[in-house]
Amino acid sequence: MTQKFNPKTDIPLIAILRGIEPKDALRVGHILIDSGFKAIEVPLNSPNALRSIKLMVEEFGNQYLVGAGTVTSPELAKQVIATGAKLIVTPNYNERVIKLGIEAGCQVYPGVITPTEAFSALAAGASGIKLFPVTMLGTSGVKALKSVLPKETLCFAVGGINPERDSMKPYLEVGIDGFGLGASLYSPDLSDEEIRNNAQMFIKSFNEASSQ
């Protein structure tokens, strides 16, 4: 499988499709990809999440990064890996989940909030870290954490990010590399047009925030 998503060179935005159902997965996936997204995460607490992931892996997996969020145990990690997914995102630090994902060729982004968790995740081989909820840290906390992490550490901010330049720019200025985007991008009650508008606005806002 050719992995085309590189957070250092592609737009580093991960679409979080919490609550999506399998019947909507491919349609919404196409909307996001057509808008410029290259990474899609389906949280495992969504209805029949593994089925949605499997469908999107089969449709998009050769060119885009598709996988699961809310992967909280090694057993769940194994189920995700069995779908062919190449992205594992967690809300917490679990060494075994990280190692299983990396061994399977996945990009793994565990949720952390403290230096201890961050360094433990990196020592376990994580591809990068997910600062969640980033609102607990704020920009000053992110800056302090980034000051002690290895410079090459990929850091994604998740929680409370809106499709506006001023929502992203302060975090980019203190060293955040990318964002995981949830309810401000997608919820099951949104129309296709609303999802498309949100996706395009996030891409536009990120490009503006990162170029200034």
**DSSP for 161-192?**
--SSHHHHHHHHHTT--EEEE-TTT--TTS-H
- Please report the pLDDT score of residue 1 as a whole number: 38
Share of the chain above pLDDT 90, in %: 94
Which pLDDT band, with edges at 50, 70 and 90, does 67 fall under?
very high
Which pLDDT band, with edges at 50, 70 and 90, does 7 fall under?
confident
Place of tokens 């196409």: 30
Q: Which residue out of 38, 54, 86, 130 is catalytically annotated?
A: 130
Mean pLDDT, residues 98-116: 97
- Please report the pLDDT score of residue 129 as a whole number: 98
Our answer to whether residue 41 is catalytic in this structure is yes
Our answer to whether residue 75 is catalytic in this structure is no
- Please report the pLDDT score of residue 8 as a whole number: 83
Question: How does pLDDT run across 173-205, given as a tens digit for each residue?
Answer: 999 999 999 999 999 999 999 999 999 999 999
In the chain the domains, ranked by start, together with CATH numbers, are 13-211 (3.20.20.70)
Average model confidence (pLDDT) across the chain: 96
Cis ω for the linkage preceding 133 (within 30 of 0): yes
- Please report the pLDDT score of residue 62 as a whole number: 87
- Please report the pLDDT score of residue 2 as a whole number: 45
The backbone torsions φ and ψ at residue 77, rounded to the nearest 5 degrees and listed phi first, read -60, -40
* Residue 189 tokens, joined: 């009650």
Which pLDDT band, with edges at 50, 70 and 90, does 4 fall under?
low
Q: Which residue out of 38, 41, 54, 146 is catalytically annotated?
A: 41
Does 37 have pLDDT greater than 60? yes
Amino acid letter, residue 136: M
